Amino acid sequence: MEVILWVLYMFTMFLYVVKSRCLTVGVSHSDMFGETYMGKLANRIVSSMDFDINQIKRSKHRTKRHFTTKYRNLECFGKDLKIKLSEDDFESIAKKKL
């Protein structure tokens, strides 16, 4: 009886191995980190940043200090993100947005 159970167990394991080699199991998330997707994600994050200096009455220099000195909460995709920009990143974004 024990030998039959062991044979059935080994046969089941063999079938699982064959199945996993022949069929794809799970979902591949490799396309999530492609250049196109990451570019769109970065553009959406930057577009949700508040650079409207006329409405807030803050100069470009104060806006630069605001984003480069501390981590700031930014709401994007319904989630809160914490960002802190380097001065070079801020300058490249500010050229496009201001």
Q: Is residue 69 included in any domain, yes or no?
A: yes
pLDDT of residue 1: 83
Please report whether residue 29 resides in a domain.
no
Percentage above 90 pLDDT, the chain: 13
Exposed, middle or buried by CB within 10 Å (0-12, 13-18, 19+), for 12? exposed
For residue 19, tell me if it sits in a domain.
Answer: no
Higher pLDDT, 51 or 82: 82
Residue 80 contacts residue 71 (beta carbons within 8 Å)? no
- Summarize pLDDT for 75-95 with one digit per residue, the tens: 887 888 888 888 888 888 877
Q: What is the pLDDT of residues 2-47, one digit of tens each?
A: 999 999 999 999 999 888 888 776 777 777 777 778 788 888 887 7
| Structural domain containing residue 73 | 52-98
